[in-house]
C-alpha cells in the first residue's frame, strides 16, 4: 500500500472565536502545498472522548439512552463521555464514566479502537474500550446535564440494533460492528 504523502498545510493565521466550556471554535487560515489560500477554516476543539462496549458476566451488553438535542431523538448508546484532566489515562476516564452513568465497573478492559468524529474539523479522538465481565459496583452519579436510563441488552438485541441501523452514533457503531465481526456474532 502506498505510503501517504504528509505535506501539512501551512497555518497563516489562527484565532479563537469561542472558548466556552462546551464549545471551542478556532478560525484558521491555511496555505496549501500548491499555494492556494483557504482564508476561513473552522476547527472545533474538544478534549478526548471515550466510550465503552461493556459486557456483564452473564453476557448482557450495558447500554444507556438519553435525549440528544442534535438529532432530536432518544437512541440506544454505549456509555460515553469526556476525559477530564484528573483522569490518569483514557481507560480511567472510561471507567469513571461507566461507573457514573451505570454503576457498573470491574472486569477486564482493553482499548479497542481510536477514531475521530470528523478529522477535517474536530481536533480530538474517541478512545473506544471493550470491558468484559463488568458487574454492579456502586451508585450512579449523573452530571447536571444528564438524564439517562440504563439498559442491559442481550447479544440478540444488540445485533438487532445493528442490522436495523439503529445505532446512530458513528463512534459507537464502528466498534460495535468490529466486535460483532471479530467474534462472529452476526
Contact set for its own copies, span 63-102 (CB under 8 A): 65, 67-77
Contact set for its own copies, span 7-26 (CB under 8 A): 7-9, 17-18, 20-23, 25
Q: Could you say which of 90, 126, 129, 134 contacts its own copies (CB under 8 A)?
A: 126
The CA-based diameter of the chain, rounded to the nearest angstrom, is 59
Neighbours of 48 (CB within 10 A): 16
Closer residue to its own copies, CB minimum distance, 82 or 105: 82
Contact set for its own copies, span 35-54 (CB under 8 A): 36, 38, 40-44
**CA 176 to each of CA 60, 69, 127, 161: distance values in angstroms, whole numbers, following the listed order:** 14, 23, 13, 10
Residue 80: CB minimum distance to its own copies, A: 9
What are 39-43's contacts with CB under 8 Å, separation 24+? 42/121, 43/121, 43/122, 43/123
Q: Supply the DSSP string of 75-100, one letter for each residue.
A: EEEEEEEE--TT-SSHHHHHHHHHHH
Closer residue to its own copies, CB minimum distance, 70 or 139: 70
Helix/strand/coil for 72: coil
Give the binding range for its own copies (CB under 8 A) out of 52-60, 85-93, 107-115, 130-138. 107-115
Closer residue to its own copies, CB minimum distance, 108 or 149: 149
Q: Could you say which of 59, 136, 138, 170 contacts its own copies (CB under 8 A)?
A: 170
Residue 33: CB minimum distance to its own copies, A: 7
Nearest 5°: phi and psi at 42?
-105, 130
Give the binding range for its own copies (CB under 8 A) out of 85-93, 99-107, 115-123, 131-139. 115-123
Amino acid at each position: 500500500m502506498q505510503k501517504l504523502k504528509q505535506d501539512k498545510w501551512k497555518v497563516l493565521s489562527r484565532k479563537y472565536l469561542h472558548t466556552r466550556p462546551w464549545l471551542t471554535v478556532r478560525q484558521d487560515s491555511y496555505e496549501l502545498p500548491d499555494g492556494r489560500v483557504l482564508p476561513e477554516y473552522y476547527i472545533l476543539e474538544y478534549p478526548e472522548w471515550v466510550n465503552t462496549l461493556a459486557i456483564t458476566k452473564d453476557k448482557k451488553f450495558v447500554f444507556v439512552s438519553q435525549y440528544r438535542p442534535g438529532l432530536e431523538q432518544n437512541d440506544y448508546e454505549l456509555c460515553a463521555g469526556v476525559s477530564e484532566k484528573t483522569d490518569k489515562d483514557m481507560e480511567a476516564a472510561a471507567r469513571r464514566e461507566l461507573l457514573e452513568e451505570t454503576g457498573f465497573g470491574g472486569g477486564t478492559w482493553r482499548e479497542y479502537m481510536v477514531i475521530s468524529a470528523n478529522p477535517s474539523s474536530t481536533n480530538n479522538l474517541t478512545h473506544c474500550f471493550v470491558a468484559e465481565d463488568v458487574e454492579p459496583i456502586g451508585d450512579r452519579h449523573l452530571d447536571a446535564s444528564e438524564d439517562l436510563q440504563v439498559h442491559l441488552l442481550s447479544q440478540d438485541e444488540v445485533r438487532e440494533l445493528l442490522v436495523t441501523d439503529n445505532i446512530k452514533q458513528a463512534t459507537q457503531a464502528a466498534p460495535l460492528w468490529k466486535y460483532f465481526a471479530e467474534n462472529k456474532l452476526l
